[in-house]
Amino acid sequence: MMPEAKGFPGAAAAFAAALPASLAACRPAKVLEKALETGRLAHAILLHGEDLAELSFVAEALAGALLGSKGDIAHHPDFITLRPGGKARQIRIGDRGDSGENTMRFFLRQVSQTPGVAPRKVAVVYEADRMNAATANAFLKTLEEPPADTTLLLVTTRPYDLLDTIRSRTFHFRIDSSAEARERDGEWKKWLADYARWLALVSARPRKSDEVAAAVMGAYALSSTFTETLGALADREWDALKEKLPENLPDEQVAAMEAGSRKGVRQKLLADVEGATLAYARGAGGPAMPKLARVHAVAEQVARLCDVFNLKEDAALEWFLFSSMRQWGN
């Protein structure tokens, strides 16, 4: 049975007040609020969903409530963080005896210490799916024997990339402030409309040279505008996010966070592409449904190629579109 954290007066209200209305109203936030109110909060919590910035916001709101922070949680001495670093955006284990910050060994040493000013510590692993085997196994030992008066939060958009043993030792909360109601940029809405028209074109099995050329050129155009729109939306989100970053973060951490922010936007757009594909298949009726499963498998590969193998987004989307073209046209 998982250890439970002690309740703190006002923590539930502080957590709810820190969240925007869209998040405060979602069921996972209500469950967390109730756990704070009753003092029955698990020692290890996994926050997952499609939006990395949203997940991080919830983690920091929860940390602020637990620590009774009145200011920027990033500067609280009992708030401990670990993020991916370097070009590979990996969470590194760190050398033995090395005091290098932003490594798992340094993080775990901080976690093992007694709280400085608050009654407890809160430790957050951002993008926890970026742990390799060494860092994951080191972290697992802490999950198995958690230090007293410590809450561990894991934030990830890819929960199934974590070790099964880590997932089984955490309470899971999927955070989504209503994907259906999320506002989309006008250019992105136009892209989705163009994509739907392209699906209709390729599903009609073009055979004439001008029809085939239109389908091929349409795929290239969709790939190009996808990358441009993604870049614009990612830049906008990063501009808003970097204003809230702690001061004096190492350059490699800032670079990794920017890449993570872009990844979060890309995942939301790819989820929209899958949704548009499903909507088309449903509208097309029975014959399209067997093809949908094959196209869906290709779409999942696109996300993996970008996230794990760092394939360029335009190349990955071109591969998806031309693979889809073969599936719909058969």
Q: What is the pLDDT of residues 168-209, one digit of tens each?
A: 999 999 987 654 444 456 889 899 999 999 998 988 888 888
- CA 257, CA 254: separation in Å to the nearest integer? 5
pLDDT interval class at 10 (50, 70, 90): confident
Hey, which residues does 154 pair with through a beta bridge?
46, 125
Tens-place pLDDT, residues 209-235: 888 899 999 999 999 999 999 998 888
**Is residue 4 pLDDT above 80, yes or no?**
no
User: Hey, which bits of 35-170 come out as E strands?
Assistant: 41-42, 44-48, 79-82, 121-125, 150-156
Q: What is the pLDDT of residue 288?
A: 63
Task: Give the pair of three-digit tokens for residue 318.
Answer: 């071109």
Q: Of the CATH numbers 3.40.50.720, 3.20.190.10, 3.40.50.300, 2.40.50.100, which one belongs to the domain with range 4-174?
A: 3.40.50.300
Residue ranges of the chain assigned to CATH 3.40.50.300? 4-174
Helix axes 313-329, 186-203, angle to 10 degrees: 30
**By the 8 A CB rule, do 63 and 82 touch?**
no
Of residues 142 and 51, the one with the higher pLDDT is 142
As a dihedral over the C-alpha atoms of residue 42, residue 46, residue 48, residue 51, rounded to 10 degrees, the angle is 90
Average pLDDT over residues 287-310: 76
CB 63 within 8 A of CB 150: no
pLDDT for residue 6 is more than 70: no
Sign of torsion over alpha carbons 254, 66, 148, 175: negative
Give the residue, 168 or 248, on which the prediction is more confident.
Answer: 168
Q: Find the mean pLDDT for residues 97-122.
A: 88
pLDDT at site 274: 87
Q: What is the pLDDT of residue 287?
A: 62
Say what the pLDDT of residue 197 is: 93
User: Between helices 27-38 and 11-18, what is the axis angle to 10°?
Assistant: 160
Per-residue pLDDT, 267? 83
Query: Rounded to an integer, what is the distance from CA 91 to the centroid of its chain?
Result: 15
Please tell me the distance from the alpha carbon of residue 268 to that of residue 179, in angstroms, as a whole number. Answer: 9
Look at the pTM and tell me if it is higher than 0.75. no
Question: Quick one: pLDDT at residue 182?
Answer: 46
Can you tell me the mean pLDDT for 59-64? 95
The SS3 of residue 301 is helix
Lowest model confidence (mean pLDDT) among 36-50, 54-68, 190-204, 254-268: 254-268
pLDDT at 179: 47
For tokens 């998040």, name the residue. Answer: 23
5: three-class secondary structure by DSSP: strand
Over range 32-37, report the average pLDDT: 91
The Cα 237–Cα 264 span in angstroms is 10
Residue type, 132: N
